[in-house]
Structure 1
Amino acid sequence: MKNEKIIFLLVVCLTCAGCSTKSREKQLNNRIITDMAGRQVEIPAKITSAFIDRHSVQMVYAFDTMLAVNRVFNYTETEKKFLKKSFYENKPYAIESSAEEIVQLKPNIIFYSAFITPENTEKVNLLQKKTQIPVVVINSDIFEYKEALRFLGDILNKEEKAKELIGFIETYIDPALAKGKTISGKKKKKIYYAEGLQGLKTDPSGSVHSLLIDLVGGINVAEVDILPGKGMTNVSLEQIYVWNPDLILVWSGNFDEMDSYKYIKTDLSWKKLKAVRNNYVYQVPWRPFGWIDRPPGINRLIGIIWLSNLLYPDIYNYGNLIGITKEFFSKFHHYNMTDEETLEILNPQP
């Protein structure tokens, strides 16, 4: 009986020792962070794979071109030119996937980029519960990009890269946003943001999809309701004539054919519009991601520079626009552009 008690105690001690070892290993391999929604999340100390959504794709890519287990866009060949193959090759197209699909991809973290609202926090908590994979919220507010980059740099153990990216914002974007607030009165140009195959969809002031027009000092002429989600409110050509914009920005999707731009430039029904008549119709750059929208992510940083220079070159006075664009692509897209490539991407319209 005495021997049996000794054996029992030995088993208990060994079991406790094993549990203690596993606990210590877990502590070494994981850490608890507070994400940008204020949620405490236990994540791997070293993140090696991640499921990403469309709003976080560009920011994650800036840090690590191989981290994503999924692809959130079908890239054209001209877009792929500016992206590392490791980012899109052999990656399944997966957006807003079911919990089961995400689990099958075996990421050790999920990045969810969104505005910080109770509804979005509830969605994230539910997704984490279903997948049993840590979900980390990144604030998608353009005014929080520096903090978002700092946050990602910390959890990805890439603090120096974060400082480099934040430095770009402090050097070029912060001064641009400050100048945008000084433009007033008659100096402001009236802009129509043309979306859809025939340019008869748009997003008004206050929409995340057309935000850059407001930020750089333009007047968004569209007087329509903001649609949630992907936006794009239907309008008539008669309305556009009443609004009488000085300049038209065109989003033709990520298609090299630029059908929407060509339609507006050549269709007779648009010909008498002042902006078309004066040749102030501009295709928004889209390689490798939309520059002012689609998705409304960190690629809008270079969009701020492009659009502000297009509208008010004398006010913003960037000097070396080619150099700034090349710097952005090098730091955020890991691509070193030639001057010829830069000019082509800055001026996509034929």
Structure 2
Amino acid sequence: MKRKLWALALMCVLALPLVACSGGTDAQKPAEDQSEQQQPVEQQATEREITDMAGRTVTIPTEVNSVYCAVPTGEAMVATLSPDKIIGWVNEPSAAAMEYLPENLASMPVIGGWMGQQVTANMEDIITLDPDIIIYVGTDGTLGNDDVPDQIQKETGIPVVCASSALERTPEVYRTLGDWIGEADRGEELATYYEIKFAEALEKIDAIPESERPTVYYAENSDGLATDPTGSSHTEVLDYCKVKNVADVEMKSGQGRTEVSIEQVIAWNPELILCHSGFVLADDIMNNPQWADIQAVKDGEVYTTPAVPFNWFDRPPNVMRLLGIEWFATVCYPDIDIDINQEVKDFYKLFYKVDLTDAQLEKLMNQNQLSFE
């Protein structure tokens, strides 16, 4: 019996090194695993610094899912770039405009904005909506000296980025905004199209002889008796179409518009009158006896700017100005090689993802039939 117990004890002693070795190996594994788990994991940045088009350094989120545009010009661009990211309007879009815009934009709250000297924005509403960034658009001549973006940013605590409203910089703005809000591919697509079509239109306009360029009066205000001169940010489309703007008036900044008398317009005697549809329609002038002796009225050369979903010319100056140039070029130069119907269809297909019917196309071209309420 003692021998059996001694043998059993010996077996246990001999087995101890094996168990110790085996246990030691297993004990080391969790330590190694724990060491691996403790290796530092690189955190993805949630913010980045950008330099906006006013030269300001702004820290913005790396992922932007919501945008508020402080001026209508920005809305028109973001509506074609990434409409699902717009969370509020400066002004309520018209029923006519909503026919061509995504349905979700119809339910967005109206919170006002900054329009020249007119400010209608509600700061509390902006803070409540809490967009990832605020987009502020202005002219190249004023952006660098405008303290409004910094004021908005200070009062809301939300990053404000500035972009240019200059027509020729539209492709650059598409690429820049596309990068800022995470829509680089879409921004590049729209920018490339804009560059090509803009260059083509200007090349065809430049080929028109000087002798064929009409004199034009740009009618604004409800009575048509206000206008802007050549070189104004409000007459860029006219300038690119190389017409002769008859308005010999003061250049005003901001909202522009210099009031004139009917006697001045009669003295200028333009060959063509272009009415800004936000103020006055062609029919208003054609049916007004005090305009009857002006050459444009006698010849029936009075037109209204198309304005849906955003004005093709101005107020706000926006991406639709490419179509404004193409359309007005066909008005001023009937023989120019621009198929305006096809250009409009192509533009709406790409920028608004809308396949225009012939009825819609006709309605877009005849603004006297539209309601802008």
Task: Give yes or no for the alignment of 1:164 onto 2:189.
Answer: yes
| 1:234-313 pair list within 5 angstroms | 234-253=259-278, 260-313=281-334
The equivalent residue for 2:127 is 103
Q: 2:360 aligns with which of 322, 341, 346?
A: 341
Q: 1:49 corresponds to which letter in structure 2?
A: S
8 Å contact from structure 2 (residues 55, 144) kept in 1: no
Q: 1:119 aligns with which of 145, 154, 170?
A: 145
Distance 1:242 1:196 in 2: 19
Q: Kindly state the Cα deviation for residue 184 of structure 1 after the two structures are TM-superposed.
A: 5.0
| Greater Rg over alpha carbons, structure | 2
Q: Kindly state the Cα deviation for residue 88 of structure 1 after the two structures are TM-superposed.
A: 3.2
Q: 2:257 aligns with which of 210, 213, 232?
A: 232
Q: Kindly state the Cα deviation for residue 339 of structure 1 after the two structures are TM-superposed.
A: 2.2
Distance 1:178 1:37 in 2: 30
Distance 2:204 2:126 in 1: 43
8 Å contact from structure 1 (residues 112, 138) kept in 2: yes
Identify the range of structure 1 (74-83 vs 243-252) with the bigger mean alpha-carbon deviation. Answer: 74-83
Distance 1:33 1:47 in 2: 13
8 Å contact from structure 2 (residues 167, 236) kept in 1: no
Give the SS at the match of 1:28. Answer: coil
8 Å contact from structure 2 (residues 281, 368) kept in 1: no
Q: Kindly state the Cα deviation for residue 273 of structure 1 after the two structures are TM-superposed.
A: 1.2
Q: 1:261 corresponds to which letter in structure 2?
A: A
The equivalent residue for 2:84 is 66
Q: Kindly state the Cα deviation for residue 98 of structure 1 after the two structures are TM-superposed.
A: 5.0
Q: Deviations over 1:78-124 (max 9, x none)?
A: 2221111212314223213254442122111110111244322x332
Task: Give yes or no for the alignment of 1:212 onto 2:237.
Answer: yes
8 Å contact from structure 2 (residues 82, 183) kept in 1: no
Distance 1:149 1:200 in 2: 35
Q: 1:338 corresponds to which letter in structure 2?
A: T
Distance 2:296 2:57 in 1: 51
Distance 2:308 2:244 in 1: 25
Q: Can you give the 5+ residue segments of structure 1 that lack an aligned partner in the other structure?
A: 1-19
Q: Kindly state the Cα deviation for residue 220 of structure 1 after the two structures are TM-superposed.
A: 0.7
Q: Deviations over 1:36-89 (max 9, x none)?
A: 222222111111111102121111111111212211223222222111121231
Distance 2:106 2:202 in 1: 33
Identify the range of structure 1 (79-88 vs 185-194) with the bigger mean alpha-carbon deviation. Answer: 79-88
Q: Deviations over 1:258-286 (max 9, x none)?
A: x5422211111111211111110111111
Q: Kindly state the Cα deviation for residue 250 of structure 1 after the two structures are TM-superposed.
A: 0.8
Distance 2:321 2:107 in 1: 25
Distance 2:58 2:284 in 1: 49
The equivalent residue for 2:29 is none
The equivalent residue for 1:15 is none
Give the SS at the match of 2:49. Answer: strand
Distance 2:266 2:291 in 1: 9
The equivalent residue for 1:16 is none
Distance 1:230 1:186 in 2: 32
TM-score normalised to structure 1 length:
0.86
8 Å contact from structure 1 (residues 322, 343) kept in 2: no
Task: Give yes or no for the alignment of 1:43 onto 2:60.
Answer: yes
Identify the range of structure 1 (229-238 vs 274-283) with the bigger mean alpha-carbon deviation. Answer: 229-238
The equivalent residue for 2:158 is 133
8 Å contact from structure 1 (residues 198, 260) kept in 2: no
The equivalent residue for 1:326 is 345
TM-score normalised to structure 2 length:
0.81
Identify the range of structure 1 (326-335 vs 54-63) with the bigger mean alpha-carbon deviation. Answer: 326-335
The equivalent residue for 1:12 is none
Q: 1:75 aligns with which of 88, 93, 101?
A: 93
Q: Deviations over 1:141-196 (max 9, x none)?
A: 11111111111111222222122212221331112223434445322110001112
Q: 2:367 corresponds to which letter in structure 1?
A: P
Q: 2:186 corresponds to which letter in structure 1?
A: K
Distance 1:268 1:166 in 2: 45
Distance 1:260 1:63 in 2: 30
Q: Can you give the 5+ residue segments of structure 2 that lack an aligned partner in the other structure?
A: 1-39, 115-120
Q: 2:193 corresponds to which letter in structure 1?
A: F
Q: 2:237 corresponds to which letter in structure 1?
A: L
8 Å contact from structure 1 (residues 282, 349) kept in 2: no
8 Å contact from structure 1 (residues 74, 93) kept in 2: no
8 Å contact from structure 1 (residues 251, 284) kept in 2: yes
8 Å contact from structure 1 (residues 71, 88) kept in 2: no
